[in-house]
Amino acid sequence: MSFETFVTDKTGLQKFYEAIIEKNETYAPVEKFGNFDFKRITRLSECNPESPIEKTRSIKPLFFPRSAKVMKYVATSAGTEIAETDKDPLAGKRVIIGAKHCDARALQVLDKVYSWDYIDTDFRNRRQNTVIVSTRCDKAAIHCFCTSLDYDVETLDAMDVLIVNGIDGKIYIRAKTEKGNAFLKNFPTIHDSQLPENEAAPALKAQYEAFAATFRLQMNYREVNEKLSKVFDSPEFESLSSNCISCNTCAFVCPTCHCFKISDEKVKDTGVRYKSYDSCNNGYFTLMAGGHNPRPAKYRRWRQRALHKFVYYKERFGENLCVGCGKCTFACPVNISIFEVVNQVSDTAM
């Protein structure tokens, strides 16, 4: 389904953002110590919707918080009461501006695991109540490879509203979903500048082609999926992961990693149970009481990470559990690149 496209300029876009922020609970990339994280804002000046991709955290924590309270409880000799949990701070109607395409795509990938069998209603509600406004990148960063994966960055509909900085200097705004279409109707100043499809389409395409030409990294994901499924015993996993310090940063910044742990903290009678990010790179991740650990070696944990992303999740849910955003590689303190790992291991396949 295609929706109308509107055209504006830098001032018009700024006014559009300001109108969004004025009317909505809005989240946007806010700079701190040189990096950008999505925070609640009340003024456009607090944020940079075009923050550089390599310095911007994903929007995942707005849907799957880094650490969330499962519940509070009071446990005494008189009995145990599970106290009212706080109202979900992420469940209200809200808008995200400045989301990157890859991060928006990651939510589509996560929808699969959160909605099979047991439905995570918290995740679903947060998704349903959020309008995502995403600006297409103009240039790939050094570790980006989104155009090499199993989604079409050009026609992606993971965002509700798409913004494109045309190579002609004009700015194009287009709804990508029904939700986004309805949302744009709230902004009559934008709505006055409708562009016929025969003018909009070539402008968007030209920008995409210029953007797509800037990628250093390219691969054939089908080949990688196919080959990786045959290299479980490849010794390359060991050599490629030998530098890993098991810090788990890659998983914590990844927009698709979704492993978590459940932990209790109790002081005197009152306790809190948390659901927090965890990672398959942790040595204790699969360690069982009694000492048995199916993945006792670092290379096995790295293999799990690589194969979960490019083989297992694909088998199970039909998508790669990687969107090619490069965040893990930008953040890795020992310069391990998932792109290099999966491609180099694939090369060992017969």
Partner 1 sequence: MEQLLVPMICKIDKIIQETPDIRTYRLKFKEEGRMEKFSWMPGQFIEFSFLGSGECTFCIASSSTRKESFDCSIKRAGIVTADIHSGLDEGDEVGIRGPYGNWFPLNDLKGKNLLFVGGGIGLAPLRSLIQYCIDNRNDYKDFTILYGARSSADMCYKDEIKEWQANKGLRVVLTIDKAEETWKSNVGVVPKILEEVVKPVIENTKVITCGPPIMIKYTIQSLLKLGFADKDIITTLEMKMQCGIGKCGRCNIGSTYVCKDGPVFTNEQLKLLPDEF
**Which residues of this chain interact with partner 1, rule CB under 8 A?**
68-71, 73, 75, 79-80, 82, 85-86, 88, 113-114, 116-118, 120-122, 232, 258-264, 266, 271, 273, 275, 278, 280, 285-290, 292, 294-295, 300, 304, 307-308, 311-313, 315-316
DSSP 313-324: HHHHHSS-S---
Closest CB to partner 1 among 42 and 232? 232
Closest CB to partner 1 among 82 and 245? 82
Handedness of CA 105, 255, 257, 64 (dihedral sign): negative
CB of 43 to partner 1, least distance (A): 29
Report d(CA 161, CA 183) in Å as an integer: 9
CB of 25 to partner 1, least distance (A): 17
CB of 151 to partner 1, least distance (A): 20
Closest CB to partner 1 among 52 and 318? 318
CB of 206 to partner 1, least distance (A): 40
Report d(CA 90, CA 122) in Å as an integer: 9
Closest CB to partner 1 among 82 and 201? 82
Element holding 148 (H helix, E strand) = none
Element holding 76 (H helix, E strand) = strand 67-76
Residue of 164, 156, 89, 76 whose CA lies nearest to 323:
156
Closest CB to partner 1 among 64 and 172? 64
Report d(CA 264, CA 271) in Å as an integer: 7
Check if the beta carbon of residue 218 is closer than 8 Å to that of residue 145.
yes
First to last CA, the chain: 42
Within 10 angstroms of residue 12's Cβ, the number of other Cβ atoms is 17
User: Which neighbouring-strand residues pair with 76?
Assistant: 79
Which residue reads 């300001």 in tokens? 18
CB of 287 to partner 1, least distance (A): 7
CB of 230 to partner 1, least distance (A): 12
Q: What's the order of all strands across the beta sheet hosting 26-32? A: 35-41, 26-32, 94-99, 130-135, 161-165, 171-175, 5-8, 194-195
For residue 112 the two structure tokens come to 């699969």
Check if the beta carbon of residue 105 is closer than 8 Å to that of residue 158.
yes
Closest CB to partner 1 among 205 and 266? 266
Closest CB to partner 1 among 36 and 237? 237
Closest CB to partner 1 among 101 and 303? 303
CB of 24 to partner 1, least distance (A): 22
Closest CB to partner 1 among 128 and 218? 128
For residue 305 the two structure tokens come to 């990470």
Handedness of CA 21, 25, 27, 33 (dihedral sign): positive
CB of 342 to partner 1, least distance (A): 16
CB of 97 to partner 1, least distance (A): 25
